[in-house]
């Protein structure tokens, strides 16, 4: 008997406005196993963060219409959970790292207080035990001089250190699902590499499942087991990272790879970068047929007529394209590490 995925999403849809008429997310489906990393990629405005906040149940009541055929986490039907139950699960079973620590950390409270609060709420620890766990997690995320940092306020820390605090806050109750929403975008490359290494180390130790949201394909190549490519609110391609990078089958995926630089000493890039013409369409004015049709260099007449069905390209690799690409990987500049 096949074991059920740790996280299973089927036909997720999220709408905003009167009656949820503006669909920011449509027909999103994927699975994620424990201890694995799924990278959700796409341009800004493609629906990645809305997908994440829907899984976490973070939309304000009445602000969004969220529906799905399935949304199960570790056997729990998240669609059946009320706000009280979701609050219990957030921090304990699932947690999220946001892109901007300064908008997530309370500037009026010390770092130690904010970390300790999660433990007192979710694990009913004594203050002494909570303080010990706070020191342990600060050391794990490589906060120097952790003893003095617990009494610091967010504005007294560097950007990289604040991001480490956000990771510590997400991990302090040892959740089994971690959603990281572009957590390294505002950091310099050295700090970014340290954060990625830290997440990988903690994943190996605790078996955490990770959804990593990014538009940086270099990051994807380093950390992903699987990739889900999102465009205009829908997934257009899913599969193992090596398969997606070596044989992209959707025009959008191929376009993202062609627009990615591989920097080498003394050179700007290896190969010529190509931009994807045009912009992501408004959710209220999607084109007929494939939502990418107006920007796709491979579009055929049939692409304007109907929404494509999912097609299997290879084992575990599927694409939502009526004209799956056969040789789109030729001369792509980015390589997946062996």
Please tell me the predicted confidence (pLDDT) of residue 1: 52
How does pLDDT run across 216-260, given as a tens digit for each residue? 888 898 899 999 999 999 999 999 999 999 899 999 999 998 887
Report the SS3 class of residue 15. strand
Count of beta carbons in the 10 Å neighbourhood of residue 157: 19
Domain map (residue ranges) of the chain = 248-338
Record the tokens describing residue 257, joined without a space.
């790879």
Q: Measured between alpha carbons, how far apart are the two ends of the chain, in Å?
A: 32
Which residues are CB-contacts of 213 (< 8 A; sequence separation ≥ 6)?
39, 40, 41, 48, 49, 52, 179, 180, 181, 182
pLDDT over 70 at 297, yes or no:
yes
pLDDT over 70 at 17, yes or no:
yes
pLDDT over 70 at 157, yes or no:
yes
Looking at the DSSP bridge assignments, the partners of residue 97 are 180
Please tell me the predicted confidence (pLDDT) of residue 338: 43
Q: What are the backbone angles phi and psi of residue 263, rounded to the nearest 5°?
A: -80, 135
Looking at the DSSP bridge assignments, the partners of residue 13 are 67
Please tell me the predicted confidence (pLDDT) of residue 328: 46
Please tell me the predicted confidence (pLDDT) of residue 211: 97
Please tell me the predicted confidence (pLDDT) of residue 273: 67
Record the tokens describing residue 243, joined without a space.
């398969």
**Cα–Cα distance measured from residue 174 to residue 140, given in angstroms and rounded to the nearest whole number:** 12
Q: What are the backbone angles phi and psi of residue 288, rounded to the nearest 5°?
A: -70, 145
Share of the chain above pLDDT 90, in %: 49
pTM value? 0.89
Using the CB atoms, write b or e for 235-245: b if 16+ within 10 Å: bbbbbbbbbbb
Best CA proximity match to 327, nearest among 265, 249, 268: 249
How does pLDDT run across 65-88, given as a tens digit for each residue? 999 999 999 999 999 999 999 988
159-171 helix and 111-122 helix, angle to the nearest 10 degrees: 10
Q: Mean pLDDT, to the nearest integer, of 121-134?
A: 87
Q: Mean pLDDT, to the nearest integer, of 312-332?
A: 76
Please tell me the predicted confidence (pLDDT) of residue 74: 95
For residue 3, give Cα distances in angstroms to 11, 29, 90, 248: 21, 18, 24, 29
Q: Mean pLDDT, to the nearest integer, of 30-46?
A: 94
Please tell me the predicted confidence (pLDDT) of residue 114: 92
């Amino acid at each position: 008997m096949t074991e059920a995925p740790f996280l299973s999403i089927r036909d997720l849809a999220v709408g905003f406005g009167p009656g949820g008429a503006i669909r920011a997310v449509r027909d999103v489906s994927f699975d994620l196993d424990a201890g694995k990393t799924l990278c959700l990629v796409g341009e800004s405005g493609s629906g990645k963060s809305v997908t994440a906040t829907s899984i976490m149940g973070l939309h304000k009541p009445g602000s969004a219409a969220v529906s799905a055929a399935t949304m199960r986490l570790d056997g729990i039907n998240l669609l059946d959970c009320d706000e009280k139950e979701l609050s219990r699960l957030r921090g304990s079973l699932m947690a999220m790292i946001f892109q901007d620590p300064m908008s997530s950390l309370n500037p009026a409270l010390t770092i130690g207080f904010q970390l300790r609060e999660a433990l007192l709420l979710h694990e009913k620890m004594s203050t002494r035990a909570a303080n010990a766990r706070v020191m342990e997690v600060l050391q794990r995320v490589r906060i120097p001089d952790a003893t003095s940092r617990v009494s610091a306020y967010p504005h007294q820390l560097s950007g990289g250190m604040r991001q480490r605090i956000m990771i510590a806050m997400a991990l302090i109750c040892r959740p089994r699902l971690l959603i990281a929403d572009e957590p390294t975008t505002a950091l310099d490359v050295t700090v970014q590499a340290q954060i990625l290494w830290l997440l990988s180390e903690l994943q190996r130790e605790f078996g955490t499942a990770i959804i990593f949201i990014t538009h940086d394909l270099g990051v994807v190549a380093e950390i992903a087991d699987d990739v889900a490519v999102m465009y205009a609110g829908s997934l257009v391609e899913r599969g193992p990272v090596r398969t997606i990078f070596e044989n992209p089958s959707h025009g959008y995926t191929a376009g993202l790879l062609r627009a990615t630089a591989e920097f080498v000493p003394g050179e700007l890039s290896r190969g010529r970068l190509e931009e994807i013409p045009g912009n992501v369409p408004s959710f209220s004015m999607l084109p007929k047929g494939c939502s990418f049709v107006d920007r796709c260099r491979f579009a055929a007449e049939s692409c304007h007529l109907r929404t494509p069905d999912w097609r299997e390209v290879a084992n575990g690799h599927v694409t939502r394209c009526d004209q799956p690409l056969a040789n789109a990987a030729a001369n792509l500049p980015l390589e997946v590490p062996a």
